[in-house]
């Protein structure tokens, strides 16, 4: 609830919201007059109740402040927290002190990463370490600090991009494969592998496990071993049809070993 109390010759306005007997929101401000204090407190109380305490907190808390808040909680739980960890939190907090939690977008993180790489020449691993305090703080912000964060915009799945290789690009690829194939130590015909991967699109690991013995010539199918599955981690084999382009390519791929791809014969 909102309250106004005298504080010397001024007035202290305070808004406290409780849930289950515990305070879930508290904010105060000093004003010159009682009417100013009352007006501010009533408007803030209405706004917090409409938005929810967590969402309102995100509109006032900067990313830097959230990182420091999480660091303080870690230090309380682990008094012997390393100096490098403390330094890393403070460094990234300073970088994002001017950005509100609700305004943080992937572009802010990308811009930081590019700046660190181009200006400081640091490795991707270092950049990941730099940003880890933000990730950790955002991960627990809603539960631990009652601050609403929009993780969807930061951690959502990548947007699907559909793009065809143009003829100029494919010609360049095939020319490079031909150059490599001409080398005397080359054992794998990358031109055939490239064409077969287009005709039989599978994961790289699945293509590499294909074997001649798994082909059913009568049914024109092949058994793909250990197909990736969210639940079945092993022995998830599938019989897959070989369409005309893939079937025709298999006719010309040299059977120099047990794999369907050309390779050095197994001894």
Q: Let me know whether 11 and 82 are in one domain.
A: no
pLDDT of residue 267: 27
97: DSSP letter: T
The answer to whether 66 and 101 are in contact (CB under 8 A) is yes
Domain for residue 258, yes or no? no
Residues 141 and 173 placed together within one structural domain of the fold: no
pLDDT of the residue at 181: 85
Average pLDDT, the chain: 82
Q: Same structural domain for residues 147 and 214?
A: no
Residue 186 in domain: yes
pLDDT digits (tens, 9 = 90+) for 177-225: 999 888 887 777 888 888 898 899 888 888 888 888 999 999 999 998 8
Partnered with residue 2 across adjacent β-strands are 15
Residue 123 lies in a domain: yes
Looking at 120, 154, 188, which one is the last position of a domain? 154
Domain assignment present for 199: yes
Please report, rounded to a whole number, the percentage of residues in the chain having pLDDT higher than 70: 81
CATH (domain of 133): 1.10.150
Contacts (Cβ under 8 Å, ≥6 apart) of 258 = 211, 212, 213, 266
Number of domains in the chain: 3
pLDDT at 266 > cutoff 50: no
- Expressed as residue numbers, the domain containing 216 is 167-252
Domain boundary among 91, 124, 154: 154
Distance of CA 63 to the CA centre of its chain: 18
* Residue 100 domain-assigned (yes or no): yes
CB atoms within 10 A of CB 49: 13
Percent of the chain residues past pLDDT 90, beyond the cut: 22
Q: Note the pLDDT of residue 76.
A: 87
Same domain, 31 and 73: no
Reply yes or no on whether the pLDDT at 226 is more than 80: yes
pLDDT of 79 over the 50 cut: yes
Supply the pLDDT for residue 236: 80
Does 259 fall in a domain? no
Q: Is residue 24 part of a domain?
A: yes
232's tokens:
């079945």
84-136 pLDDT, tens digit each: 889 999 999 999 999 988 888 888 999 999 999 999 998 888 999 999 999 89
Q: Are residues 68 and 140 in the same domain?
A: yes
The answer to whether 31 and 3 have CB atoms below 8 angstroms apart is no
- 116 and 172 share a domain? no
Q: Both 72 and 144 in a single domain?
A: yes
Could you tell me the CA-to-CA distances from 27 to 121, 138, 259 in Å, in that order? Answer: 43, 22, 69
Chain-centroid distance of CA 165 in Å reads 27
Same domain, 244 and 200: yes
Does residue 218 sit within a domain?
Answer: yes
């Amino acid at each position: 609830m909102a309250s106004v109390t005298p504080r010397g010759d001024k007035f202290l306005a305070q808004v406290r919201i409780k849930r289950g007997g515990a305070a879930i929101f508290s904010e105060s401000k000093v004003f010159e007059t009682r009417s100013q204090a009352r007006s501010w407190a009533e408007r803030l109380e209405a706004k917090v109740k409409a938005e929810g305490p967590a969402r309102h907190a995100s509109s006032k808390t900067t990313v830097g402040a959230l990182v420091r808040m999480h660091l303080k909680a870690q230090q309380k739980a682990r008094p012997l927290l390393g100096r490098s960890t403390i330094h890393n939190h403070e460094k990234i907090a300073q970088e994002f002190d001017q950005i509100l939690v609700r305004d943080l977008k992937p572009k802010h993180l990308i811009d930081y990463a590019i700046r660190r790489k181009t200006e400081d020449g640091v490795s991707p691993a270092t950049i990941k370490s730099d940003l880890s305090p933000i990730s950790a703080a955002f991960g627990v912000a809603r539960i631990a600090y009652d601050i609403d964060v929009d993780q969807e915009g930061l951690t959502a799945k990548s947007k699907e991009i559909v793009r065809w290789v143009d003829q100029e690009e494919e010609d360049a690829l095939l020319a490079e494969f031909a150059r490599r194939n001409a080398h005397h130590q080359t054992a794998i015909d990358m031109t055939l592998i490239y064409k077969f991967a287009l005709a039989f699109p599978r994961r790289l690991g699945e293509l590499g496990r294909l074997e001649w013995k798994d082909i059913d010539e009568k049914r024109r199918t092949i058994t793909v071993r250990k197909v990736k599955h969210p639940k079945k981690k092993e022995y998830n084999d599938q019989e897959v049809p070989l369409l005309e382009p893939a079937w025709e390519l298999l006719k010309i791929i040299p059977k120099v070993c047990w794999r369907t791809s050309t390779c050095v014969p197994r001894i």
